[in-house]
Amino acid sequence: MLANERTERATQPNVTANGSQDTFRVIGATEPLKGSMLMKVEYPDITLFDRAGTFTVAVFPIPFLRGYGQQGEWFVVEAGRRCATGPGRFAFKLRDPTDNIVNKIELEISKKNSQPDVPPPLPPHHH
């Protein structure tokens, strides 16, 4: 049972330096995204990983979402046609109903919006 203990530790949500959580334990309820997963919210993406956090199951670019919302222990993403999943609604049950994924998404968007858009550096000029 050692492997199982290691898996349980790996699935603990990551807590950032400022104390805000960026990874949530969810259970996908919509085909093809069904079963236990980790959901990481870090602009510009919402990324779903397998339960151990070792491989990416799906990525929802936040700018390509038609909408998202949370009611109680349910979080729903409405993917647009530019998402790799294609358009559709995907429901996830939160392992911890006190998690607030919507607040985290909005925090990430506001952090992005508060950073000045810095143009990329110019390539070196050669004569």
* Cross-strand bridge partners of residue 30: 33
Provide the pairing of β-strand 74-79 with 23-30.
Answer: unpaired
- Comparison of pLDDT for 124 and 13, the residue scoring more: 124
pLDDT at 5 (0 to 100): 39
CA 101 – CA 124 distance, rounded (Å): 43
| 87 vs 60: CA distance, rounded Å | 11
**Model confidence, pTM:** 0.74
Residue in 107, 28, 100 with CA at minimum distance from that of residue 70: 100
Residue 53 and residue 38: Cα distance in Å, rounded?
7
Our CA angle for 40, 44, 9, nearest 5°, is 15
User: Can you say how many angstroms the Cα of residue 42 is from the centroid of all Cα atoms in its chain?
Assistant: 6
CA distance 47 to 43: 10
Q: Is the pLDDT assigned to residue 66 strictly greater than 70?
A: yes
Model confidence over 105-124: pLDDT tens digits?
999 989 888 877 666 677 77
